[in-house]
Amino acid sequence: MNRSYIQQGLRFIIILLVQVLILKRINVGSGDFNYFHLFLFPICLLLLPYNIPKIGAIFIGFFSGLILDMFYDTPGIHAACSVLLTFIRPLIHLWLEPRGGYTMNASPTIRSMGNRWFLTYTAIGMGIYILFFFSLQAFSFVFILSIFLKSLFSFILSFILILIYMYVLQPEN
């Protein structure tokens, strides 16, 4: 088995455990102002290698989302968001593709793609995941302001957390 896939699997498990055991318990807001939620998990889906088959990525997203749903008591919401993210990930890659193309065995990291590309890629992916998550959770446009505020504040905190993770640990593949 390729060393890169083992590293990917370990990173996936560790981030999933951090999400459900630590980040789930962090409550930044209080009372009616509970707009801050931390999401580190979507970076696992965003860092999947370019050459992974689309259907394989969707299955990985679905089953890992189901695991999150079991811990968060959100029936199917994380699974749906993970499937959406893994489904549109190739479209984001296509839209942001550099002139020379991608190295197919690599993962989209800061080291392999550079800061600007990675920040744009992560912002788009995280924005879609978080906005879709809170839209499904509220499931009504009556709460559009609440959806927007939760998405905005959660995106900012989660994006900072992901950048800290990426710059401190600097995963290669």
CA pseudo-torsion sign 104, 42, 173, 11: negative
Measured at the CA of 162, the angle between CA 173 and CA 52, to 5 degrees, comes to 35
pTM: 0.88
Three-state secondary-structure class, residue 47: coil
Place 146 in a pLDDT band, splitting at 50, 70 and 90: confident
What CATH code would you report for 3-26+35-169? Answer: 1.10.1760
Task: State the Cα–Cα distance between residues 140 and 82, nearest whole angstrom.
Answer: 20
Q: How many helices (H) and strands (E) does the chain have?
A: 7, 0
Chain segment 100-123, per-residue pLDDT in tens: 777 666 778 788 788 898 999 999
Beta strand residue intervals within the chain, DSSP E: none
Residue 124: CB atoms within 10 A of its CB come to: 18
Single-letter amino acid code for the residue at 38: L
Taking 90 as the threshold, does the pLDDT of residue 49 lie above it? no
